[in-house]
Amino acid sequence: MFNSLVPFPCFPCGRNKRRTIPLLQNQQLLRHRDLHRRPTPAATAHLPLNSLTLSFKMDTSWMSLPRATTEYENGLDKFLDFIFSTEGKNGQISCPCIDCSNQIWVDREEARTHLQCVGFIKGYRIAPFISESCETPMLDAEDDMQGLVHDAFNGFGENIHENEIGTQNESQSMPNTNAKKFYKALEDAKKELYPGCKKFSVLSFIIRLFHSKCIGKCNDKGFSMMLNTLREAFPYASIPKSLYDLRKIIRELGLSYDKIDACPNDCMLYWKENSKKTECDICHTSRYKANENDPDDELTIPDTDKKIKKIGAKVLRHFPLIPRLQRLFMSSKTAASMRWHEESRTKDGYLRHPADSPAWKTFDFNYPDFASESRNVRLGLASDGFNPFRTMSVSHSTWPVVLMPYNLPPWMCMKQPYFFLSLLIPGPSAPGNNIDVYMEPLVAELQELWDINGVETYDASTKSNFQMRASLLWTISDFPAYANLSGWSTKGKLSCPCCHKHTKSQRLTHGNKYCFMGHRRYLPGDHAFRKDKKSFDGTKETERQPRGLTGSEVLDELNGFEIKFGKLVKTNPDLPFNWKKRSIFFELPYWKTNLLRHNLDVMHIEKNVCDSVVGTLMNLDGKTKDHLKARLDLQEMGIRPELHPKVQNNNKVYLPPACFSMDKKEKDIFCRVLKKVKVPDGYAANISRCVELKPPKLFGLKSHDSHILMQQLLPIALRNVLPKHVRYPVMKLCRYYKQLCSKVLNPNDLVQMENEIGKILCDLERIFPPSFFDVMVHLSVHLASEAKLGGTVHYRWMYPIERYLSTLKSYVKNRSKPEGSIAEGYLAEECLSFCSLYLSSDVETIHNKTSRNYDDGGFEDILPIFSMSGRPIGATVVEILDLDILAKAHSYVLFNCSEVDEFRTEHLTNVRHENRKLREREIQRLHSETFESWFQDHVEELHTRGDHRITEDLRNLASGPAEFVKKYKGFIINGFRFHTKDLEQNRKTQNSGVMLEAMTNSFSSAKDNNPIMGDVTYYGILNDIIELEYAVDRKVVLFHCDWISNGSRKKQDENGFTLLNFEGLNPHNDPFILACQAQQVFYVADRVDKGWKVVIKTTPRDSYDMNEQTCLENVETHLQSDTSTGPQLDDNMNIELVRRGLNGTVVDKNTLVFDGDEDLFEAAS
C-alpha cells in the first residue's frame, strides 16, 4: 500500500508547505482530497489546535508507542470510539494528526488512517480537566470562514497543483492566479484580527463589517468614516484602510460579470465573432459614443503613450449563470436543498410546488435522461422594465432578466437571495421585440447547460462531482412584456395569446378599442346562454372553446420567415396573425415541448379587473367603463335599447341608470365598510387611506391593495348594495381569484374552476357594457387552465419580481450611470448573501432574519404543555388572579394536556360507577368539577408508590399554578400577532380576533344521554393574556376570550358569509384556551345590521402547507376550507337592465362626442 515519501498535494487542506506522509495509491489520494473539501459549519470554533480537554480518565501511554504495534492500534480504536461519541459532528471530527492539525474535518476511517500513518500533533494529550495552551490557537469564533473560503474556491480548486501529484520537487510548480487568491483568502480566514483575538479573524471581521453596512443601509461616506475611526482606535488590528480595500477583499470571494457592447439601435451584440467590429452590420451605427471620430478602438493622449479605451454607446451586462448555479452545489449550505424537489417534497397529487405540476412531470416524461438526475436544475425566467431614478419626470427604462431555480423548497426558491440577475439591459428606451438580441448570451448558456455532457460541478453534500444540466420551464412577465418574450403581439383584435387566431373580439367605434365578449364558447354545448341573443351581443354562439397552440404548431406558423432586429429595420416580412417574431427561446431544443412556455401574470390581471369592477360600480371618473361612448356603442350594436342615450334640450344627453349603478346611500355604505375596516398587523396596507366618504370614491390602490380588496373586502362591501343579479356574479368573480391564489391546489378543484369562470363572465356580459370587457377581463378565463399546467400562482406571478426590482432600484447611487450602479450593487449583495451563510447563527443575516411575527420555538425535554412556543410583547403586569378564574384556567390546562388523558379517563369511569343514576350531562359536570382535586391527590399517591409515570413535571402540573400570574397586552404565536381588545382601541389594526376549532360533546337537551362528539368552531375576542407558573421555567400561556359558537348570535346570510354579534355578550363559562390553540380572524362591521360583524379567516405569512404526514384526508384546499358555496343565480331569471328608483346621468353632448355621432343622437331622440 505504501510506496514512498512524497509531497502530499491536498489542495482543500489549504497547505502549501513541505510535508511528507506515506504515499497512498492514486484512488485513495483523490478520495483524501474529496474528503477534505471543507470543515462543517462552526466545526473548529471550540477546539484548540494542539490540545484537547476531555473530562475522562484514560491510559494514554499507547500514544508514545510505535504506530505499527497492536497496543497502539487498540488504544487508537478506543480513542476514536470516545472522540466520535462526544465531539463528532455529522460523522466527522477535526483530525488531530500532524498534517491536519485539528483544522480539517474527516470521517472515522480517514482519521484512523491519518493517525496510523503520521501520528498525533505534538503536545496533543488527553487529560482530565486540564486545558493546555497552544502555540497557534484556533479562533474561538463561530463564523465558519475557512469553510467559506473552501466553498468559494472549489470551482477551480481541483486544478490547483494538480501537476504536483507524483512529483518529487514541489518548487517546480508555482501557484496560479486563482491559487494565490485562495491562499490569500485562507490566510485572512486564519489570521487573528489582532494578536490574541479569539473572536474574529481578519476575514470574519471584514465580512461582519460589510454585512452590517448592507443590512443597516449605511452610505459609503459614513462607513468610510467609521473605518477610519476604528483604525485610529485599534492601530494594532488588521483593519482595511478604506472601503475600496475592503471591497477588494470581499470581491475575491464573489463572482463577476461581463460587459458586452451593443448596437444603440438594438440590432446586434459585439460578442463572439463580432467582438472586434466597430460598427453595426445592420444599421452601420458606430459601436462607440460619438464624441470621437478615431476609427481605432483606443485613443492616444497627446504627448504620452497612454491609451484610453473607447466607451461603448450601449453596454449589456451579462452575469454568467453557470458559475452561479455551480455555487449552489459547491456550498455545503445549499447543496442538499437542490435535491429537495425529489427527495423531500410531498407527493400526494396536490399542487404545492412547480415539481407537482403537469408541466414539470411532462418534461420529465419527454426527457427521462434529464429527469434521472435530481440535481439537474429547473429554471424560471422573469423580466420587466423599471425606472431606476424613482421619478417619472425622467424617462428611462432598464430591463433586468432574472432567473430563479425551482429545485429549492418553497421557502427558498422565490426569495431574493436565490434570484440570479442574468442580464441587465440598459436604457433609456425599452428593448421591445429586440430583447432577443440581448438574450443571446443567456440562451447560449442554456444551450450549454442542456448539452448531454452538461457542466462538471462539485456537490458539497455528497462530496462528489457530477455533470450539471439545466432547463428553462417558462417565463414570467406582465402582459406587455409577454409580447416581447413570446413574439405574439398583445395588442389589437387578436391580443389574447391563449386564444391566438381564434380570439373573438369586436371593435367599438365610439370607445375606440376592442372588446372581448365571446365567453359563451366556454359553456357546455347545450347551455341555454348559447342561444340567448337578447342578453348578449345579438348573436347565437356555436363555436367551441379554443385550444392553445403547442410549440410545434407555433414553429409551423413561423416556418420560413426571417426576422431582423433593430429599431431602424423596416423591411421585415408580415407574419401571420399577431406574430411579430419567432421567440429566441425556440433555439432551446426542448422549448417546443414545454406545456406552459409563458405565464399570464395574475398580479396585474387581478389589479386591472379590480379597477374595472370598482370603477364601474362606483362610476369613478376615468375608471368607469359605463359612459356616453359605451352607451353609443350599445346603440350601434343594436342591443339593450333600454340603456341607449336620450337627447334632451340644450345639448344635453340623458343616460338611463344601469342595473349596476349605485345610489348615493349605497355608495356611502360601500365606502364606509372599506373606510372603517381594520385588518391584522402585516395583513395588508391601510386601505382606509384610499377611501373618501365625501364624495364617496376610491383612489390610489396599489397592486396588493387590489389583491386584498378583490379577494376579501369587495364581496363584504357589496353585501347590502345592488340587485342580486349584479352582486352575485361579482362575488363569484372575487371567489374565483381567491381560490386561484391558494397555496395548495387540488387538480379536481381547478377543473371545477375552469368550468365556473366561463359562466361567471357570461353572467357579467349580461349586465356590464361591452366596453367593460377589455383583454384583461377576458384573460381571467385562462388563469385556471394555466394553473392546471403550472401549479400554484405564487411561483409564476410578478409579486416577488416587482419586489426584487425595487431592490435593484435601491442600488442606484450614481444617477449618471444607473446600470453600472445596479451591477456593482448586485455583485456586492450577491457576495454578501453567500458569505452570510457562513456567519454565526446568532448574527442576523438575509437568510436567518426573523419575521415580524416569529416566536421562540419553545423548550425541549419537558412536559409538552410547558414547552409551548410563543413570546409576549409589550409591558408585563403581575397580579393575583381571582381564585375562581384561576381554578377555571387550571382546569382547562388539565383537560388539554395529553399526558393527563389516561387519568381523566380513569376519573370519569369512577364518577360513572359512583353515580349510576345520574344522566350523562350531570356526570360530565361532576367530572369537570372534581377532577382537579382528585388528580392532585392521585398523583401524589402514585408518586409515593414509585409509579414510573409520575414525573416531576406531572407533579408540578397536578399541584396547580401560583396565585401570582403575569398578564400581557400582546402575544405572538403560530405566526400570528395577538393584541387584547383594550390595546387596539386606538390602533389602525385589529389583532384581537380569535378562532378555535375543537372536538366538543354536544347534548340535544338536558335529558340527552348520548352526546355527539363533533367539530365546533368558536369565534372570540381576546380580553386578556395570562401566564400561569407551575414551577421555575414551567409556564402555560392562556387566552381569556369572549366566545360565540352557535345560537342566536351567529348566522349565515344569503351570500354565504358568517356573521357574529358580540354586543351585550355574557361571560362564557369556559373562557380560556391555550395560546397555541389560537388561530386568528378579523371582523368587518355590517353597516346595515348594527352590531353584526362578518368574520374573515386569515393564515400566517410565510407559511407553507407541505402536508408532511402525507395523509390525503388531512389536506385542505381553498374549496374545502371555504364553507360558502357562493351565491347562486337563476340562469332563466329576467334581468332588469335599468335600475328603478334611481336617477340617470346627464352629460354634455358637445364635449364628449365626435361630430360623426350626430346621426345617432337624432335616431335616439
Q: How large is the average pLDDT for residues 28-44?
A: 35
Residue 1073 reports pLDDT greater than 80 = yes
Q: How large is the average pLDDT for residues 430-442?
A: 96
Instruction: Give me the residue spans of the domains in the chain.
Output: 5-138, 143-160+175-253+819-848, 319-503+546-599, 600-797+1101-1165, 864-990+997-1040+1066-1077
Residue 104 reports pLDDT greater than 90 = no
Q: Give the pLDDT of residue 572.
A: 86
Q: Give the pLDDT of residue 146.
A: 77
Q: Give the pLDDT of residue 803.
A: 95
Residue 229 reports pLDDT greater than 90 = yes
Residue 130 reports pLDDT greater than 70 = no
Q: What are phi and psi of 263, to 5 degrees?
A: -65, 135
Name the most confidently modeled range: 155-164, 410-419, 1101-1110: 410-419
Residue 27 reports pLDDT greater than 70 = no
Size of the chain, expressed as the number of residues it contains: 1165
Q: How large is the average pLDDT for residues 281-307?
A: 68
Under the banding of pLDDT at 50, 70 and 90, the label for residue 437 is very high
Task: Quote the percentage of the chain above a pLDDT of 90.
Answer: 57
Q: How large is the average pLDDT for residues 1031-1050?
A: 90
> CB under 8 Å, gap of 24 or more: what pairs does 1020-1023 form?
1020/993, 1020/994, 1020/995, 1020/996, 1020/1044, 1021/981, 1021/992, 1021/993, 1021/994, 1021/1062, 1022/978, 1022/979, 1022/980, 1022/981, 1022/992, 1022/993, 1022/994, 1023/980, 1023/981, 1023/982, 1023/1071
Q: How large is the average pLDDT for residues 450-457?
A: 93
Query: In DSSP terms, which residues pair with 876 in a beta bridge?
Result: 968
pLDDT in tens, 886-930: 999 999 999 999 999 999 999 999 998 988 888 888 888 899 999
Q: How far apart are CA 1138 and CA 642, in angstroms?
A: 7
Q: Give the pLDDT of residue 790.
A: 96
Under the banding of pLDDT at 50, 70 and 90, the label for residue 1032 is confident
Measure the CA angle with vertex 444, ends 438 and 450; round to 5°: 140
State the sign of the Cα–Cα–Cα–Cα dihedral 924, 926, 931, 934.
Answer: negative
16: its cell numbers: 502549501
Q: In 718-854, which ranges are continuous DSSP H helix?
A: 724-740, 747-765, 775-790, 799-810, 818-835
Asked which of 826-830, 838-842, 1026-1030 is least confident by mean pLDDT, the reply is 838-842
Q: Give the pLDDT of residue 399.
A: 97
Average pLDDT, the chain: 84
Q: How large is the average pLDDT for residues 255-269?
A: 94
Name the most confidently modeled range: 10-19, 217-226, 377-386: 377-386
Residue 494 reports pLDDT greater than 70 = yes
Higher pLDDT, 621 or 158: 621
Residue 1015 reports pLDDT greater than 50 = yes
- In the three-class reduction of DSSP (H, G, I as helix; E, B as strand; rest coil), residue 610 is classed as helix
Q: Decide if 50 contacts 132 (C-beta within 8 A).
A: yes
pLDDT in tens, 631-649: 999 999 999 999 999 988 8
State the sign of the Cα–Cα–Cα–Cα dihedral 1119, 1122, 1124, 1128.
Answer: negative
Q: Decide if 224 contacts 243 (C-beta within 8 A).
A: yes
Under the banding of pLDDT at 50, 70 and 90, the label for residue 1001 is low
Under the banding of pLDDT at 50, 70 and 90, the label for residue 869 is confident
Torsion of Cα atoms, 860 then 862 then 868 then 873, to 10°: -80
Under the banding of pLDDT at 50, 70 and 90, the label for residue 20 is very low
Residue 710 reports pLDDT greater than 70 = yes
Q: How large is the average pLDDT for residues 972-986?
A: 93
Q: How far apart are CA 637 and CA 506, in angstroms?
A: 10
1127: its cell numbers: 351565491
Under the banding of pLDDT at 50, 70 and 90, the label for residue 675 is very high
In terms of Cβ atoms closer than 10 Å to its own Cβ (0-12, 13-18, 19+), residue 646 is: middle
Under the banding of pLDDT at 50, 70 and 90, the label for residue 1077 is very high
Residue 798 reports pLDDT greater than 60 = yes
Under the banding of pLDDT at 50, 70 and 90, the label for residue 599 is very high
pLDDT in tens, 73-85: 888 888 888 887 7
Q: How large is the average pLDDT for residues 968-976?
A: 93
Residue 6 reports pLDDT greater than 60 = no
Q: Decide if 1061 contacts 1095 (C-beta within 8 A).
A: no
The H or E element containing residue 244 is helix 243-251
Asked which of 287-301, 564-578, 892-906, 1144-1158 is least confident by mean pLDDT, the reply is 287-301
Q: How far apart are CA 596 and CA 789, in angstroms?
A: 7
Q: How large is the average pLDDT for residues 422-446?
A: 96
Residue 451 reports pLDDT greater than 90 = yes
Closest CA to 263 of 677, 569, 691, 721: 569
Q: Give the pLDDT of residue 199.
A: 85
Under the banding of pLDDT at 50, 70 and 90, the label for residue 23 is very low
Q: Give the pLDDT of residue 1163.
A: 52
How do 470-476 and 377-383 pair as beta strands?
parallel
pTM (2 decimals)?
0.83
Q: Give the pLDDT of residue 1113.
A: 40
Q: How far apart are CA 187 and CA 390, in angstroms?
A: 43
Residue 1028 reports pLDDT greater than 90 = yes
Q: How far apart are CA 392 and CA 390, in angstroms?
A: 7
- In the three-class reduction of DSSP (H, G, I as helix; E, B as strand; rest coil), residue 967 is classed as strand
Tell me how many helices (H) and strands (E) the chain has.
34, 35
Q: How far apart are CA 894 and CA 586, in angstroms?
A: 66
pLDDT in tens, 160-171: 443 333 333 443
- In the three-class reduction of DSSP (H, G, I as helix; E, B as strand; rest coil), residue 876 is classed as strand
Q: How far apart are CA 863 and CA 1142, in angstroms?
A: 67
Under the banding of pLDDT at 50, 70 and 90, the label for residue 157 is very low
